[in-house]
Structure 1
Amino acid sequence: MSPHSVKAGQPTATWWKDATVYQVYPASFKDSDGDGWGDIPGIISKIDYLKELGVDVVWLSPMFDSPQEDMGYDISDYEAVYPRYGTVEDIDLLIQACHDRGMKLILDLVVNHTSTEHNWFKESRSSKTNPKRDWYFWRPPRYDENGNRLAPTNYRSYFADSAWAWDETTQEYYLHLYAESQPDLNWESEEARNAIYDSAMRFWLDRGVDGFRVDTVNKYSKHVDFPDAPIVDPSNFIQPATHLYCNGPRIHEFLREMHDKVLSNYDVFTVGELSLTPDPKHVLDYVSASEKQLDMVFQFDMIHLGMGHGLEDKYDPTEWKLSEMKQIMAKWQKFIEGNDGWTTAFCENHDNGRAISRFASDEPEFWQASATMLAIFMITLTGTLFLYQGQEIGMINMPSEWPIDEYKDIEALNYYKEAERLSMTSDPTRKERIMRGLQKMARDHARLPMQWDSTPNSGFSTGIPWMRTHDKYKEINVEIEEKDPNSVLSFWKKLLALRKDYRDLFIYGIFDLVDPENEGTFTYTKLSNDNQIALVVLNFTKEPKPFPEVDRSKKLKLLISNYSDSQPETLQPFEGRVYLNF
C-alpha cells in the first residue's frame, strides 16, 4: 500500500483546515506613527476589524530586521524586528491580541537565503577559513578562452540577473537565486540548519507564534555539483536553471528533519510556497500527513495564468482561457482525494496583481460583480482559505497610466531594465510588452497602501506613504463598505460565515467539474460526506450567459447570489450563484 493511501472520503478535520487565513503585508497595512510605513501597532489597532470579518489566522509577512532590498525577504536578524515596524515586544502584543480574540498568528519563514547584512554572511565572506564559510555557497570563478572571468555557472536569478555575485574579499562568487543582497544558505551544512531552527523558528514559536508560511520551500536542496543549465537563450549568458535548484535530492530529508526537530514539538501548522512542481504525486510528497513535512502548500498554476512562458518571459503577457483555469482548479482540488494530504484556496498574495484586474474586470460597471463573484469562487473551494489584505474590499491594480517610476519592487524594475536593454538590441517591442505585463501582474499592485477611509492617504498614514495610494481610495475603502450592507466587504463577511456553516460541503467537500470546455461560465459541484450537494455557477464574462445545462431531476435551492435580481435561465455579467441540492 502507498504511504499516502487512506480510506476515501472526507479528510480529518483540524483547526488549520477549517481556518480562514488573512495575509497582512506590514509595510502597507496601517501606519500608527505617521512615518508613511505600516507597523505592528497599526496592525494591533485593526485586529477587531479582522475578527469581525471572520478571520481565524493572521499571516504576517516578514517584519524581521532587514535592509529592505526585497521588502523584508532579505533578513539581517531573525530575532529582531525592523525598527520602522516596531519591536519584538510589539510582536508579543500582537500575538496576545490575536490569542485574546480566539485567533492565531503565523509568520513568514524565510530560510532559503539571508541578507548580506546578516552576521552569518558577514562571517562567511570574511575568509575562506571562517567556520561559517560553508553556511553559504562559495565557488571559484571560471575563465573563458580570452581570460575573462566568468561566474561558476550560467544560472539566471529570479530577478533577471546572474545568480552568482563576485566578492572581492575572498575572490570567489556566492550563489543568490534572488537579489545579489540575498545569498542562499547552504542547507548541506548541519550547523547552518541547526542555527536556522534555533534563530528563525524556536525563537518565535517559544513566544507563542502558531506556525509559518514557509518561503521558497522547495529550493533548500540544490544539485551542489552545479552543472551548467542548458542554453535556451543563445543571446544571453544567463539561462533558466530552476530544475537544478528546485525539488533537489535532499529536500524531503531536510523538511522531515525540520518537522521532527522543531515543528512536532508545537501545535502549529505550515504552508509552503511550492513553485515549479506540476506533478500532484510530487506535491503529495510534501503535504501527506504520513510524510511529516508540511501541512499544505500554495500551488501557483492559476496565479501564473497570463504570464509568459519560463522565468525569463514571466512578464511577457499571454492570453489565457477559462477552460485552462478550470483544468488547473480541478487538478489541485482533486489531488487530495483518497489520501492524507491537504490543499489551499487562494487567488491573491503579495507577489501578484489583484485578482479582479487579472481574472475578471476592474471597470467601474463590472467591479463590484467581479469582486463578489470571485469571492463566491474562493469560499466554495476545498482547502484552507487564504485572503490577502484589501481583497475583502475589492482592491484593484494600480491604474495603467501610472509610469514605471511608481513601481518600487526590485523584480519589476529589473525586468523593466532588462527589457529596455533588449529593446535596443534584439527585441524592439520588448519594453512595451513587459510594461503591459507589469501593468497586470507586477508584485507592486498588491503592495499599495490599504484603503481604510476617504481621508488623505486612504487613512493608511498621516504622513507620506512609502508607496502611492490608489487613485480610487475614496470609492473603495473599508469605512464606506462597512456602512453599506450590499458592499463587497459585507458580502465577504456573509460568505465567510456561510463557509463555516457549510464546512463539510465547502471546506472538505469533493470537487467535480461540470462543462469543462465552456469558455464563458465555470460550473462545478461540491459533495459532502453525508451526500449533500452544492452547485456553483460563475459567469467570468461581461456578457449575459445562459444558465448551464445541469441535471434538474432534483430540486435546486438558491443559497446565495451576488445579484439581488437573479434570473433563472440567464447569468448576468460576472454573476455567481450557489445552489443546494437536497
Structure 2
Amino acid sequence: MQHESWKEKVVYQIFPRSFQDSNEDGNGDIQGITSRLDYIRSIGVDTIWLSPVYESPRVDQGYDVSNQREIDPMMGTMEDWEELLRQTHARGMDLWMDLVLNHTSDEHRWFKRSRSSKDNPYRDYYIWRKGEKDGEPPNNWTSYLGGSAWTYDDATGEYYLHLYNKKQPDLNWDNPKVREEIQKMVRYWIDKGVNGFRLDAINVISKDSELPDTNESKMEGSGYKHFKNGPNVHEYLRELNEKAFSHKEGIITVGEASMVSMDDVARYTHPDRRELDMIFMMESPSIGNDPNDAFKSRDWKLTELKEIVTRWEKELLNIGWFGLFASNHDHPRMVSHFGNDKQYHAESAKMLATLVHTLWGTPFIYQGEEIGMTDYPFESIDQLDDQMALHYYRTRTEELGENPEEVEKRVLAGTRDHARTPMQWDDGENAGFTTGDSWMPVNPNHASINVKAQETDPGSILNYYRKLVEIRREHAEVVVHGEYVLILEEHEQVFAYIRRNHKSQGLVLLNFSEKDAEFELPEDIGVCTESAYRLLGNYESDGEDGEHRGQNDDTNAKVDVVPRKLRPYEAVVFGGLKPAPGK
C-alpha cells in the first residue's frame, strides 16, 4: 500500500529571536540558526518551521508583518535567509515559513494607503465601517486582547476591524485584489525554494459580511461565531491552493485553527478538497485552560484528554490529517504545564514526548522541548514582554477592578513568555545563547538543563527524543499510517493504546501521574503480549518489586510479560505483539 511520504515528517519549530544570537545584540537571528543546523539534524527531524522573520515593528513578536517579502533587519538579510535555506537543504531537511494572512501591521504600506482616504484604491484591503452611533463601534465584538475589536481612525472618521492588537488590522479577504496579492506573495517564497508553510490563525480570515452583534459574553474574542470557520473560508483556501500552494509540487501546509469540529478539520484537510494538508490538534494543549479565560486554569481528568485524542485519531483516520504538539511559542512549557518539572522532570518530559510521537499525525517539536526546558520563574508583571498577558493584566485590573495580585499570579503562570526565553545551549553565561544582553531573561536552571550536558548522557531527554524520532521512522507503517485503538479507557492515571496495521502491532503505556499506577490489560484487546519486546522506556532501572522494566539502551530486549504497574510518569513502548488467537 502506498502512503504519502510527507506524513512521516517530524517538524522542529524555531522561534528565531530566542534560538541563537550571532552578532552579540542579544537577539537570535538567521545566521545563528544556520550555525545550529547540525544540531537540529542530529535530533532526526527532517523539517524546520521558522516563526516569522519578516519585516515587523514587533508589537506581536513578528506576527505583525509590515513587509511580507523582506527580512527583518533584526533577523539579518535576505542573503542570510537564502544561505540558511541552502544549508538546510544540504542537510536533507525542508524549510517551512510562517504565513500571517489574517492581518498585517498598521505600518504595512497597504494599511498606510488604506487609512489615507476613503477613496484610496487600498481602502477596501481592510475592513472599515462607520460607527452605529456617535462614539460607538460598528458592533460589539471584542478582540483577543480584550476591549473592542474596532479602532476609530480620526483621519477618515471610520473604524477598522482588528481581531488582535489595534496595530494588527484585519485584511478584507472578500476583496479579490487582497487574495491576488497574497497568492503572489506565497508564490514569491515558493520560487525562492520554501518547502511548506504554517498558516497563522487561518480559520478567521472570512467574516460574516453583515458583521452582526454577538450575544456571547466571552471577554476576549467574542463574536467568534461570525468569523471562526467563516462563510467563505473553504472557498478562499481552495483558491489559495490552486493559485499558490500548487505552484510547485510537494508544498506542505499546516493551519493553525482553533475551535474546529472534526467535520471542520475534515473539510480543511481532506485531500480531495485541496485546501490544506493538515490542521493542528489544538484542543489537547489547551485542556487545562478555562474556555472563557485563557489565563485561568481548570482541573482536568486524564479521561478528558483521552476523549480528545481518541476523537481526532478515530474520526479523521483516512479522511483528514493533523499536526501534534504539546509545546509551541504560544503555550507555557509542556513539562511545567502537564508534567512535574521538579521531582520527575526527566521522566515526565519523556512521557509527554512519547505520547506526541507515537500517535497518528505529524509531530512538532518546539525548540528546547527536546531538552526539557521549563517555565521561567517570573516574579513580576514588569518582567513580561507578552502583549496578550500585558493587555489582560491592564484590562482586568484597571477596567474591571480585579485584585492586582490575583491577576498577576494568573498572568505569570500562563504567559507565552515561558516559551520565549532563550534556548539553553550550555551552562555558561546566557546559556550560550548570546554574549550580549539577552532580550529575554535566561532561565537560571540552564546550569543543569542544557544541550551540552545532555549530548553525552545516553539517558538524557535529548537522546530519548532522538530515539523516539528513530522509532517513528523505522516503524512508520504502524506508527504513522496504522490504526489507533484506545484501551483502559476509564483509567484516570494510565493512557494506553495499541497502534497496529494488518501485519504488526505495538503497545504504548503512559502514566500521567506522580504515583504508581496499577492496571490490568483487558482480555479482549485483540493482541497477545507474550511475544512483545520493549522498544523504549523512560526509566533506566528495574522497579523495586524486581519486575523487569528494561534499560533505555536495551532495544528489542525480550520480556515475558508486559508490566501491570507503572511508576510515576513512566512510559513504555512495546513492539512485536501478535494478534490474539482467533483475531
TM-score range, shorter chain: over 0.9
Match of 1:535 in 2: 507
Q: State whether structure 2 residue 122 is matched by structure 1 residue 105.
A: no
1:463-503 per-residue CA deviation (whole Å, 9 max, x = no partner) reads: 11111111201110000100211111011111111110111
**How many pairs were matched up?**
553
**Secondary structure in 1 matching 2:194:** coil
Q: What is the distance in 1 between the residues matched to 2:418 and 2:82?
A: 30
Match of 1:5 in 2: none
Aligned ranges 1:521-532 → 2 under 5 Å:
521-528=494-501, 530-532=502-504
Q: State whether structure 2 residue 125 is matched by structure 1 residue 135.
A: yes
Which structure 2 residue ranges, 5 or more long, are not aligned?
Answer: 548-562, 579-583
TM-score by length of 1: 0.92
Match of 1:302 in 2: 284
Call closer, same or farther: CA 1:161–1:423 in 2, change over 3 Å: closer
Match of 1:347 in 2: 326
Q: State whether structure 2 residue 501 is matched by structure 1 residue 545.
A: no
Match of 2:550 in 1: none
Asked whether the 8 Å contact 1:214–1:272 carries over to 2, the reply is: yes
2:190 is matched with which residue: 187, 201, 205? 205
For residue 525 of structure 1, report the CA deviation from its aligned partner: 0.9
Which structure 1 residue ranges, 5 or more long, are not aligned?
Answer: 1-9
Aligned ranges 1:565-580 → 2 under 5 Å:
565-566=541-542, 567=547, 568-580=563-575
Match of 1:3 in 2: none
Match of 2:533 in 1: 557
Q: What is the distance in 2 between the residues matched to 1:59 and 1:224?
A: 33
Asked whether the 8 Å contact 1:558–1:579 carries over to 2, the reply is: yes
Asked whether the 8 Å contact 1:344–1:382 carries over to 2, the reply is: no
For residue 436 of structure 1, report the CA deviation from its aligned partner: 4.1
TM-score by length of 2: 0.92
Q: What is the distance in 2 between the residues matched to 1:386 and 1:334?
A: 20
For residue 545 of structure 1, report the CA deviation from its aligned partner: 1.1
Q: What is the distance in 2 between the residues matched to 1:576 and 1:547?
A: 14
Match of 1:4 in 2: none
Q: State whether structure 2 residue 256 is matched by structure 1 residue 273.
A: yes
For residue 544 of structure 1, report the CA deviation from its aligned partner: 1.0
Asked whether the 8 Å contact 2:216–2:223 carries over to 1, the reply is: no
Call closer, same or farther: CA 1:434–1:301 in 2, change over 3 Å: farther
For residue 14 of structure 1, report the CA deviation from its aligned partner: 2.5
For residue 336 of structure 1, report the CA deviation from its aligned partner: 2.0
1:94-123 per-residue CA deviation (whole Å, 9 max, x = no partner) reads: 110111011000000101000000000001
Call closer, same or farther: CA 1:509–1:437 in 2, change over 3 Å: farther
The amino acid that maps onto 2:128 is: W
Q: State whether structure 2 residue 40 is matched by structure 1 residue 50.
A: yes
Q: State whether structure 2 residue 165 is matched by structure 1 residue 179.
A: yes
For residue 422 of structure 1, report the CA deviation from its aligned partner: 5.5
Match of 2:560 in 1: none
Match of 1:488 in 2: 461
Match of 2:557 in 1: none
> Once the two structures are aligned, what percentage of the paired residues are identical?
40
Q: What is the distance in 1 between the residues matched to 2:564 and 2:317?
A: 33
**Secondary structure in 1 matching 2:69:** strand
1:73 is matched with which residue: 56, 60, 63? 63
For residue 334 of structure 1, report the CA deviation from its aligned partner: 1.6
Asked whether the 8 Å contact 1:333–1:343 carries over to 2, the reply is: no
Higher mean alpha-carbon deviation, 498-507 vs 285-294, is at: 498-507
The amino acid that maps onto 1:325 is: L
Match of 2:272 in 1: 290
Q: What is the distance in 2 between the residues matched to 1:423 and 1:185?
A: 31
Asked whether the 8 Å contact 1:358–1:441 carries over to 2, the reply is: no
Asked whether the 8 Å contact 1:142–1:151 carries over to 2, the reply is: yes
Asked whether the 8 Å contact 1:232–1:239 carries over to 2, the reply is: no
Match of 2:555 in 1: none
Q: State whether structure 2 residue 500 is matched by structure 1 residue 514.
A: no
Asked whether the 8 Å contact 2:163–2:221 carries over to 1, the reply is: no
Match of 2:53 in 1: 63
Q: What is the distance in 2 between the residues matched to 1:321 and 1:533?
A: 28
For residue 554 of structure 1, report the CA deviation from its aligned partner: 3.8
Asked whether the 8 Å contact 1:287–1:295 carries over to 2, the reply is: yes
Aligned ranges 1:237-256 → 2 under 5 Å:
240-256=222-238
Match of 2:310 in 1: 330
**Secondary structure in 1 matching 2:295:** coil
1:154 is matched with which residue: 140, 145, 158? 140
**Secondary structure in 2 matching 1:206:** helix
Match of 2:371 in 1: 393
Q: State whether structure 2 residue 344 is matched by structure 1 residue 366.
A: yes
Asked whether the 8 Å contact 2:385–2:417 carries over to 1, the reply is: yes
Call closer, same or farther: CA 1:442–1:501 in 2, change over 3 Å: same
Asked whether the 8 Å contact 2:455–2:463 carries over to 1, the reply is: yes
Task: Tell me which of the two structures has the higher relative contact order, counting C-alpha pairs closer than 8 angstroms and 6 or more residues apart.
Answer: 1
Higher mean alpha-carbon deviation, 341-350 vs 202-211, is at: 341-350
1:319 is matched with which residue: 292, 299, 303? 299
After superposition, the CA RMSD in angstroms is: 1.6
Q: What is the distance in 2 between the residues matched to 1:118 and 1:486?
A: 49
Q: What is the distance in 2 between the residues matched to 1:194 and 1:183?
A: 18
1:334-381 per-residue CA deviation (whole Å, 9 max, x = no partner) reads: 222243x21222111111011111111111x21010111112111101
